[in-house]
């Protein structure tokens, strides 16, 4: 018998070679943040929620498996997903540990749901997720009556949900939509009103989706820009019909590729246009990118647009620190645009990148340095000096970070010697059809 020593295809290395102009039209995959929430709220509703355009990446599949373990009936028929819920308060104790894979969003939001249900549950994840801080959610959820045991503030996590959950008013100490949503999701099974105060706006998908299921939630903003989000608890949620918009965070890779590869022009369809998420588009326009948008229909409470982008000379800028929450996931790919821009681009207030799927601040710097781009960093800032020709030729070990993996491949498209990654598997967490879509546009991606 002969045993192959080759790695499985999904774990094989991948190289991006310099390419000519990119052309074509794509619809990026469904938004990951909305896909997680659609499954979870479907689980907490009465009736069957129908979802079209759900992201079928590994992160969302982990959420689906966890919700099934808690009693939801979830099935896929063609391109549609159907979630028959158990209602708020109707969760059943899972028989095994809930494995949240690589997803911080799934893990923290699920922790919020479980915190106000009288169950004992255990959550775990992959090595990357086990390195991410959980105290930012366990601290406020403990105030609501739940008990937790963590491993030095990280996974594995034991949750003992509250038998008599307590509504709270919580002022966010960190800019985090995950913390906000965890508290609100816990508040669904609390009496009275649960409120969250945020001084800086974060992505507001939870506030926009809850009314689609019949929840009573209000958002009030003061003159300083702070928001008070108030949710009435013990409501009965009802199933919804949802069409998930395309993910702007996934669209960002094609946007930057078209912005920097000479002669390119591409169209991206039905991309979510949410002001708490579209910082990457604003920033590319300020750098000189040739972008036009056409409004399309509303999906899941979100406006969508078609985006046409054509290559144009880019100039380095200072990215406003207050814009970081609206593009926190896009800094690795924005760094690729900065590497091609004339002059210096400066990112500030980006310490949150250090606690993502990897230390994205250092990993992004390493990616650029390996390609031959001049980079300087501090605890919460980065400066990139662009250059007309990037030598490339380097190999990046992405450490399981999907955004570093995809950013490296886009960088390879404009490097003289290309760029390579050692393992493509992380891409499956958020963008399972990344390789064929980029190849359709004209990127040259080859196994290595």
Average pLDDT score over residue span 167-191 = 97
Q: Which CATH superfamily is domain 32-233 in?
A: Enolpyruvate transferase domain (3.65.10.10)
Report DSSP state, residue 196: E
31 HSE (CA, 13 A, CB side): 28
**Chain segment 100-115, per-residue pLDDT in tens:** 999 999 999 999 999 9
Q: Tell me how far apart the alpha carbons of residues 63 and 80 are, in angstroms, rounded to a whole number.
A: 16
Share of the chain above pLDDT 70, in %: 98
Separation of alpha carbons 145 and 119, rounded Å: 12
pTM recorded for the entire structure: 0.95
Rounded distance between C-alpha atoms, residue 256 and residue 249, angstroms: 11
Each residue of 382-419: pLDDT tens digit?
999 999 999 999 999 988 899 999 999 999 999 999 99
* CATH 3.65.10.10 residue ranges for the chain: 9-28+245-447, 32-233
Rounded Cα distance between 314 and 16, Å, is 22
Report the CATH number of the 9-28+245-447 domain: 3.65.10.10
The whole-angstrom separation of Cα 60 and Cα 66 is 10
Residue appearing with tokens 């923290």: 108
pLDDT at 8: 52
Which residues are known to be catalytic?
A: 329
């Amino acid at each position: 018998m002969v045993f192959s020593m080759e790695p499985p295809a999904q774990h094989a290395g991948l190289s991006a070679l310099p390419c000519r102009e990119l052309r074509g039209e794509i619809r990026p995959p469904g938004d990951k943040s909305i896909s997680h929430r659609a499954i979870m709220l479907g689980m907490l509703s009465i009736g069957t929620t129908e979802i079209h355009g759900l992201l079928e990446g590994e992160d969302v599949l982990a959420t689906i498996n966890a919700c099934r373990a808690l009693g939801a009936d979830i099935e896929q028929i063609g391109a549609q997903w159907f979630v028959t819920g158990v209602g708020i308060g109707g969760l059943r104790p899972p028989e095994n540990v809930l494995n949240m894979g690589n997803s911080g969003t799934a893990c923290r939001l699920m922790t919020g749901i479980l915190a106000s249900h009288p169950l004992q549950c255990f959550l775990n994840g992959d090595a990357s997720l086990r390195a991410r801080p959980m105290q930012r959610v366990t601290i406020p959820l403990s105030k609501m009556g739940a008990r937790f045991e963590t491993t030095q503030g990280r996974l594995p996590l034991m949750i003992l949900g509250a038998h008599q959950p307590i509504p709270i008013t919580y002022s966010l100490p960190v800019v985090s939509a995950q913390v906000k949503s965890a508290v609100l999701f816990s508040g669904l099974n609390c009496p009275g009103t649960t409120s969250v105060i945020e001084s800086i706006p974060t992505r507001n998908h939870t506030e926009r989706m809850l009314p689609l299921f019949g929840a009573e939630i209000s958002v009030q903003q003061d003159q300083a820009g702070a928001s008070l989000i108030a949710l009435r608890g013990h409501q009965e949620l009802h199933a919804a019909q949802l069409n998930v918009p395309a993910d702007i965070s996934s669209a960002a890779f094609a946007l930057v590729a078209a912005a920097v590869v000479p002669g390119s022009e591409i169209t991206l369809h039905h991309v979510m246009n949410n002001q708490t998420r579209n910082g990457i588009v604003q920033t590319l326009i300020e750098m000189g990118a040739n972008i036009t948008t056409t409004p399309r229909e509303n999906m899941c409470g979100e406006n969508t647009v078609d985006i046409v982008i054509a290559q144009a000379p880019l100039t380095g800028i200072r990215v406003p620190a207050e814009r970081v929450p609206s593009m926190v996931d896009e800094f690795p790919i924005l760094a690729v645009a900065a590497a091609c821009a004339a002059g210096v681009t400066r990112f500030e207030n980006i310490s949150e990148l250090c606690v993502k799927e990897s230390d994205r601040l250092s990993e992004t710097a390493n990616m650029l340095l390996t390609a031959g781009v001049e980079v300087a960093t501090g605890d919460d800032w980065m400066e990139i000096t662009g250059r007309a020709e990037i030598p490339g030729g380097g190999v990046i070990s992405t450490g399981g970070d999907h955004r570093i993996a995809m950013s490296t491949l886009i960088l390879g498209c404009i490097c003289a010697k290309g760029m390579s990654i050692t393992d493509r598997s992380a891409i499956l967490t958020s963008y399972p059809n990344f390789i064929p879509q980029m190849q359709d546009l004209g990127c040259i991606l080859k196994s290595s």
